[in-house]
C-alpha cells in the first residue's frame, strides 16, 4: 500500500491526511493567526448583516433579502472549512475522517455553486431596480424572490451531490495524503490511481454551467444597467445607480476571479501551492470582505445599525 501510516498513527484506515503547510512550520503559525482573524471578522460581519436585515423593517426589500442569503451562505462557507483549517494549522494532527472529508467537500462545493447563482440573481435584482424602477416592486415580488433563492440553493446542492459522488468513487490505491488544508475537489482528484479524464471533463462542464453562464448573465445585466445610466439626465441619479451596483460588482470580481482561476483549469495541471493560496482566499478572505464591502458605503445599513443600537439622531436629541 502506497505511503505507510508514518504520521504517528494519527489516522486510521480510510482517513485522509491534510498536509497543508506542514513542511513550513513558520508559515503555518502565521497563517493560523491570519485565518483566525479572517474567520472571526467573517462571523461578526455576516451575522450583523443578517440580524440587521431581519430586524429593521426598512430593509425588508429584495436587495437585502438576497444580501441576507449571501451573508448566511458565507457564514456557512467559512464554518465548513475554517475550524478544520485552524486545527490543521495549529497542531501536528493533520488527519480528517473519511466522513468528515466527504461532508466538507459536499458542503463547501454546494455553497460555492450556490454563490455563483445567487450573485447572478442579485445582478438581475439590480437590473430591475435601475432599468425598471417604476415596476420594481411588481417585478421583484416576494414570491419570485423566494423562488429565485430556492432555485439557487437547490441547484448548488444538487450539483455538489453529483460532483462529490463521482470524485469519491475513484480508486485511491491507498493514497491518503491530500496536499491541501481542506478536502477540495481538484486536490482529491489527484489522489486517484486511475485515468480521471472523464471526471475532469465533467468538472469543466460543471464549471462552465455554474461559473461562466451566471457570469455571462451578470455581464448582460450590467450592460443594460450601463446603458440606462448613460441615458439618465440627472448626475445625482447616475451616482445613486452606480453606488447601488458598486458593492455587488466588487463582490462579483472577488469571487469569480478566484473561482475561475481555480476550476477552469484541468486538475492535471493543478499547482498545489497556488491552489492552497486561492482556496484560502475565496473560502476565508472573500466571505470576510463581502459584509465590509456592502456596509462601508451603505447609508441604509448604517442607519439600521444606529437604530438597532439606539443611536439615531432622534434618540440622541431626546
% of the chain exceeding 70 in pLDDT:
89
Mean pLDDT of all residues in 70-92? 88
Within-domain flag for 9: no
pLDDT in tens, 288-307: 988 888 887 677 887 888 88
Structure confidence at residue 123 (pLDDT):
94
Structure confidence at residue 5 (pLDDT):
34
Structure confidence at residue 318 (pLDDT):
37
Within-domain flag for 8: no
Structure confidence at residue 236 (pLDDT):
78
Q: Is the pLDDT of residue 227 over 50?
A: yes
Write out the E strands in 147-234: 177-178
Q: Is the pLDDT of residue 146 over 90?
A: yes
Structure confidence at residue 14 (pLDDT):
61
Mean pLDDT of all residues in 124-140? 90
Structure confidence at residue 219 (pLDDT):
93
Q: What is the CA radius of gyration of the chain?
A: 22
Within-domain flag for 92: yes
The H-or-E segment that residue 16 falls in is strand 16-18
pTM summary value: 0.85
Structure confidence at residue 180 (pLDDT):
80
Least confident window among 51-60, 160-169, 273-282: 273-282
Is the distance from CB of 251 to CB of 46 less than 8 angstroms? no
Residue 268's pLDDT band (cuts 50, 70, 90): low
Q: Is the pLDDT of residue 9 over 60?
A: no
pLDDT in tens, 24-53: 777 888 888 999 999 999 999 999 999 998
Structure confidence at residue 7 (pLDDT):
41
Structure confidence at residue 1 (pLDDT):
36
CATH number of the domain at 216, please: 1.20.1070.10
Backbone φ and ψ for 171, nearest 5 degrees, come out as -70, 140
**Sheet (strand 177-178) strand order:** 95-96, 16-18, 177-178
Of the ranges 150-164, 194-208, 231-245, which is most confident? 150-164
Structure confidence at residue 174 (pLDDT):
72
Least confident window among 89-98, 157-166, 305-314: 305-314
Least confident window among 4-13, 44-53, 132-141, 205-214: 4-13
Q: Is the pLDDT of residue 170 over 70?
A: yes
Angle between helices 235-263 and 98-131 (to 10 degrees): 150
In the three-class reduction of DSSP (H, G, I as helix; E, B as strand; rest coil), residue 177 is classed as strand
Number of domains in the chain: 1
Domain range for 221 is 16-317
Q: Within 10 Å of residue 157's Cβ, how many Cβ atoms?
A: 16
Residue 267's pLDDT band (cuts 50, 70, 90): low
- Number of residues assigned to the chain: 318
How far is 318 from 314, CA to CA, in rounded Å? 6
Structure confidence at residue 74 (pLDDT):
93
Is the distance from CB of 18 to CB of 177 less than 8 angstroms? no
Is the distance from CB of 111 to CB of 76 less than 8 angstroms? yes
Within-domain flag for 34: yes
Structure confidence at residue 205 (pLDDT):
87
Least confident window among 41-55, 234-248, 258-272: 258-272
How far is 308 from 305, CA to CA, in rounded Å? 5
User: Which pairing describes strands 177-178 and 16-18: parallel, antiparallel, or unpaired?
Assistant: parallel
Within-domain flag for 2: no
Within-domain flag for 50: yes
Amino acid at each position: 500500500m502506497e505511503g505507510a501510516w508514518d504520521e504517528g498513527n494519527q489516522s486510521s484506515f480510510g482517513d485522509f491526511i491534510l498536509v497543508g503547510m506542514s513542511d513550513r512550520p513558520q508559515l503555518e503559525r502565521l497563517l493560523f493567526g491570519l485565518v483566525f482573524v479572517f474567520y472571526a471578522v467573517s462571523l461578526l460581519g455576516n451575522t450583523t448583516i443578517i440580524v440587521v436585515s431581519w430586524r429593521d423593517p426598512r430593509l425588508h426589500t429584495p436587495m437585502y433579502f438576497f444580501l441576507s442569503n449571501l451573508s448566511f451562505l458565507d457564514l456557512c462557507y467559512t464554518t465548513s472549512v475554517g475550524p478544520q483549517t485552524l486545527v490543521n494549522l495549529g497542531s501536528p494532527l493533520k488527519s480528517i475522517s473519511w466522513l468528515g472529508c466527504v461532508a466538507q467537500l459536499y458542503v463547501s462545493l454546494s455553497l460555492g455553486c450556490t454563490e455563483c447563482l445567487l450573485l447572478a440573481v442579485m445582478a438581475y435584482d439590480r437590473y430591475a431596480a435601475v432599468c425598471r424602477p417604476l415596476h420594481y416592486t411588481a417585478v421583484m415580488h416576494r414570491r419570485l424572490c423566494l423562488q429565485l433563492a430556492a432555485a439557487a440553493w437547490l441547484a448548488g446542492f444538487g450539483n455538489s451531490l453529483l460532483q462529490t459522488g463521482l470524485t469519491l468513487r475513484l480508486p485511491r490505491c491507498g493514497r491518503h495524503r491530500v496536499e491541501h488544508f481542506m478536502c477540495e475537489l481538484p486536490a482529491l482528484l489527484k489522489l486517484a490511481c486511475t485515468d480521471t479524464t472523464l471526471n475532469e471533463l465533467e468538472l469543466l462542464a460543471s464549471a462552465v454551467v455554474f461559473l461562466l453562464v451566471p457570469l455571462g448573465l451578470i455581464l448582460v445585466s450590467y450592460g443594460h444597467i450601463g446603458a440606462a445610466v448613460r441615458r439618465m439626465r440627472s448626475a445625482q441619479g447616475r451616482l445613486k445607480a452606480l453606488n447601488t451596483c458598486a458593492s455587488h460588482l466588487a463582490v462579483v470580481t472577488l469571487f469569480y476571479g478566484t473561482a475561475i482561476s481555480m476550476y477552469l483549469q484541468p486538475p492535471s495541471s493543478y499547482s498545489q501551492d497556488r491552489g492552497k493560496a486561492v482556496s484560502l482566499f475565496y473560502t476565508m478572505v472573500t466571505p470576510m470582505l463581502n459584509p465590509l464591502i456592502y456596509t462601508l458605503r451603505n447609508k441604509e445599513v448604517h442607519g439600521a445599525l444606529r437604530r438597532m443600537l439606539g443611536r439615531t439622531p432622534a434618540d440622541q436629541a431626546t
